[in-house]
Chains A and B, each alone.
Chain A
Amino acid sequence: MRYLPLSDADRADMRAKIGIGSIDDLFDAVPRDKLLKSLPNLPRAKGELEVERELGLLAGKNTPAGSVPFFVGAGAYRHHVPATVDHLIQRSEFLTSYTPYQPEITQGTLQVLYEFQTQVACLTGMDVANASMYDGSTATAEAVLMAHRVTKRKKALLSGGLHPQYADVIATLAHFGSSQVVALAPDPSGVEDIIARIDSDTSCVVVQYPSFYGSIRDLKPIADAAHAKGALLIVAVTEVVALGLIKSPGEMGADIVTAEGQSIGNGLTFGGPYVGLFATRDKLVRQMPGRLAGETVDAEGRRGFVLTLSTREQHIRREKATSNICTNSGLCALAFTIHMTLLGEAGLRRLAAINHANACHLADLLGKISGVEVVTSAYFNEFTVRLPGDAAKVIDKLADKGILGGVPVSRLLPGKPEVANLIVVASTEINTDSDRAAYAAALKAVL
Chain B
Amino acid sequence: MNTQGRPTAPGSATKSDAQTFTGHRGLDHEEPLLFESGRADTTGVDLAEPKRQHTRLGGLERQAPIGLPGLTEPETMRHYVRLSRKNYAIDSGLYPLGSCTMKHNPRLNEKMARLPGFGDIHPLQPQKTVQGAIGLMEALAGYLMELTGMPAVTLSPKAGAHGELAGMLCIKAAHEARHVTDGGSKRNVVLVPDSAHGTNPATAAFMGYAVKSIAARDDGTVSADAVKAALGPDVAAIMLTNPNTCGLFEPEVVEIARVVHEAGAYFYCDGANFNAIVGKVRPGDLGIDAMHINLHKTFSTPHGGGGPGSGPVVLSAALAPFAPLPYAHHTKDGYRLVEHASERVDGHTPFGRLTAFHGQMGMFVRALAYMLSHGSDGMRQASEDAVLNANYVRAGLRHLMSQPFGDKPCMHEVLFDDAWLKDTGVTTLDFAKAMIDEGYHPMTMYFPLVVHGAMLIEPTESESKHSLDLFIATLADLARDAKTGNDKRRFKEAPRLAPRRRLDETKAAREPKLRWRPPAPKIAAE
Scan A222-244; emit 1 where CB is below 8 A from any B CB, else 0.
00000000000000000000011
The residues of B that contact A404 with a CB separation of less than 8 Å are 122, 125-126, 129
Q: Is the CB of A248 within 8 A of B62?
A: yes
Q: Is the CB of A72 within 8 A of B124?
A: yes
The residues of B that contact A218 with a CB separation of less than 8 Å are 58-60
Q: Is the CB of B121 within 8 A of A299?
A: no
**Chain B proximity of A179: nearest CB distance (Å):** 9
Q: Is the CB of A169 within 8 A of B354?
A: yes
Option from A51, A57, A433 in Cβ contact (under 8 Å) with B108: A51
Q: Is the CB of A341 within 8 A of B62?
A: no
Q: Is the CB of A97 within 8 A of B303?
A: yes
Q: How far is the CA of A365 from the CA of B466 in the complex (A)?
A: 67
Given A82-B73, A172-B353, A315-B2, CB of A270 within 8 Å of CB of B118:
yes
Given A93-B84, A285-B514, A354-B50, CB of A59 within 8 Å of CB of B122:
no
Q: Closest B-chain residue to A83, C-beta based? A: B73
Q: A379 in the interface, Cβ–Cβ < 8 Å?
A: yes
Q: Is the CB of A399 within 8 A of B126?
A: yes
The residues of A that contact B115 with a CB separation of less than 8 Å are 55-56, 59
Q: B420 in the interface, Cβ–Cβ < 8 Å?
A: no
Q: Is the CB of B146 within 8 A of A55?
A: no
**Chain A proximity of B119: nearest CB distance (Å):** 5
Q: Is the CB of B87 within 8 A of A106?
A: yes
Q: Which of A196-204, A406-414, A438-446 contacts B (4 or more CB under 8 A)?
A: A406-414
The residues of B that contact A165 with a CB separation of less than 8 Å are 339, 353, 355-357
Q: Closest B-chain residue to A361, C-beta based? A: B52
Scan B82-119; emit 1 where CB is below 8 A from any A CB, else 0.
01111111111001010010101110101111111111
What band does the interface of chain B fall in when counting residues whose beta carbon is under 8 Å from A? 35 or more
Q: Is the CB of B512 within 8 A of A308?
A: yes
The residues of A that contact B178 with a CB separation of less than 8 Å are none
Q: Is the CB of B465 within 8 A of A6?
A: yes
Question: B377-432: which have CB < 8 Å to A?
Answer: 377-382, 384-385, 387-389, 391-392, 394-396, 409-411, 432
Give the number of chain A interface residues (Cβ < 8 Å): 212
Q: Is the CB of B508 within 8 A of A294?
A: yes
Q: A185 in the interface, Cβ–Cβ < 8 Å?
A: no
Option from A5, A29, A115 in Cβ contact (under 8 Å) with B251: A29
Q: Is the CB of B503 within 8 A of A104?
A: yes
Q: Is the CB of B201 within 8 A of A319?
A: yes
Q: Is the CB of A88 within 8 A of B436?
A: no
Q: A417 in the interface, Cβ–Cβ < 8 Å?
A: no
Scan A84-109; emit 1 where CB is below 8 A from any B CB, else 0.
10101111111111111111111111
Q: Which of B6-14, B227-235, B483-491 contacts A (4 or more CB under 8 A)?
A: B6-14
The residues of B that contact A127 with a CB separation of less than 8 Å are 515
Scan B17-49; emit 1 where CB is below 8 A from any A CB, else 0.
000000000000001011100111111110111
Q: Is the CB of B352 within 8 A of A171?
A: yes
5 residue pairs from A and B, CB less than 8 Å apart: A4-B378, A29-B249, A35-B280, A122-B68, A131-B306
Q: Is the CB of B169 within 8 A of A60?
A: no
Q: Is the CB of B500 within 8 A of A104?
A: yes
Q: Is the CB of B409 within 8 A of A26?
A: yes
Scan A110-154; emit 1 where CB is below 8 A from any B CB, else 0.
011111011101110001110110111110000001000000000
